[in-house]
A and B are shown apart, each in its own frame.
Chain A
Amino acid sequence: MKNDHEALRATLREEENDVLEGWLDEARVSEPGARRAAKAEGGELLRQLDGVLAAGGDAERFEASEWTPLRDTLANLSRTRAAKGESAGDTSLFVLALKKPLFAALQRRLADDPAGMARALWTLSAAVDMLAQHTVTTFQQAREDIIRRQQEELLELSTPVVKLWDGVLAVPMIGVLDSGRTQMVMEALLQRIVETGSGIAIIDITGVPTVDTLVAQHLLKTVTAIRLMGADCIISGIRPQIAQTIVHLGIDLQGVQTKASLADALALALKQTGWRIERTA
């Protein structure tokens, strides 16, 4: 086993430039700026691969700690490419393109040792395959992270917490209420309640298409948290169909005040906070 690693390591160290140039040709990176950047990336990968082999890394145990720096570099590579909008396929092709120039270099170096060459090529192939696979999984994760971040930003824009009056906040919920979304709204709403010292929060669900047991649960969690902190809550925008569903499903609203319209909720909130409105003319 040691021999295969020796040959591979020697190749990585002594023929780094040639291997890199061959790699970039194979990966069809021709534009000078991109080529420079890719060459730097590639050089880093080759040096780390050498480091892993020196530390006794084994492609069969890719999760081991010797492989960590290399895995991190690959993860970064994926993330950057994902952010640029490249595909998972292209990214893994970039890594796999490393095989051809390294194969060629090993073949030249071990021309007199066919058995050794076979073993070295096998080690190389196994290692590069693992690298490419890791790139793909981290790529997918990076993509999901980007999408999730974009969704969160969109969510923040679409669920603003507004101050309706001194001590009265309102948040219009729009769209399907899942646990992630409810969590976000809950956090934002609770934070604003503390910041403004508002005693009442109105959650308007006019824009929520359906309320089932799960959605009701999420809403009730939010209400409970608000009450735990010492404020109160009114749910408004309950359409007749939703009221029917709630009764039909036997959902216990646990004494939460509800109003059909935001206007009614505001009127109730004002009354409860000691305000009275008078018409002057």
Chain B
Amino acid sequence: MDRIPILRMGDILLVTIQVDMQDQTALQLQDDLAGQIAKTGASGVMIDISALEIVDSFVGRMLTSISGIARILSATTVVVGMQPAVAITLVELGLSLEGVRTALNVERGMEMLRRARLENALGR
């Protein structure tokens, strides 16, 4: 079973999903991220899904869960690089990915995380 690596860039954790994940792999990622956020005190998590051609309800729920868990641990999550076909399919599937922030690409994602960290620091 592949384990998705988590990279650390300052106080941001970066995950790039490039494989067609088994359900177990997704759950492992969720576990690993929760652990890493707590251990490093990261303020932000970026999940790059630009290589993901299929996002089904399981992956969708995983993304929602990670966002929720991160929020409780005082970190902001942003999912970047969603492919157009994936977005269209998710809408048709009826998955709203409630509570998951998204950005078009890594650059905008980092900007979003920076702003969020600033706002959190200012106690807003």
Contact = CB atoms under 8 A, between A and B. Distances in A.
A197 interface: yes
A160 B122 CA distance: 43
B87 A228 contact: yes
A32 B101 CA distance: 68
A194 B80 contact: no
Contacts of B97: 228
B80 A190 contact: no
A199 B104 contact: yes
Nearest to A196: B104
Contacts of B79: 230
Contacts of B80: 230
Contacts of A198: 104
B84 A224 contact: no
Interface in A215-253: 221, 224-231
Nearest to B112: A230
A186 B91 CA distance: 11
Contact of A190 (B88, B92, B96, B103): B88
Nearest to A194: B84
Given A229-B84, A229-B102, A224 B91 contact: yes
How big is the A interface, by class?
Answer: 10 to 19
A190 B87 contact: yes
Contacts of A183: 88
Nearest to B97: A228
B105 A197 contact: yes
For the complex, would chain B's binding face be called helix, strand, loop or mixed by DSSP majority? mixed
A190 B91 contact: no
A230 B102 contact: yes
Given A187-B84, A187-B88, A190-B87, A229 B104 contact: yes
Contacts of A230: 79-80, 82, 101-104, 108-109
Contacts, number: 52
Given A224-B96, A228-B91, A228-B97, A191 B84 contact: yes
Contacts of B88: 183, 186-187, 190, 225
Contacts of B104: 193-194, 197-199, 229-231
A228 B90 CA distance: 8
- Per DSSP, chain A at the interface is helix
B44 to A, nearest CB: 15
A209 B54 CA distance: 36
A9 B102 CA distance: 67
A277 B97 CA distance: 36
Contacts of B83: 194
Nearest to B101: A230
Contacts of A221: 91-92
Contacts of B101: 230
Given A194-B104, A199-B104, A225-B87, 20 more contacts: A187-B84, A187-B88, A190-B88, A197-B104, A197-B105, A221-B91, A224-B96, A225-B84, A225-B90, A225-B91, A228-B82, A228-B87, A229-B102, A229-B104, A230-B80, A230-B82, A230-B104, A230-B108, A230-B109, A231-B104
26 contacts: A183-B88, A190-B84, A190-B87, A190-B88, A193-B84, A193-B104, A194-B83, A194-B84, A199-B104, A221-B91, A221-B92, A224-B91, A224-B96, A225-B88, A228-B87, A228-B90, A228-B91, A228-B97, A228-B102, A229-B82, A229-B102, A230-B79, A230-B82, A230-B101, A230-B104, A230-B109
In the A-B complex, the 8 residue pairs with the closest CB atoms: A190-B84, A230-B102, A230-B103, A225-B87, A228-B87, A230-B104, A229-B82, A229-B87
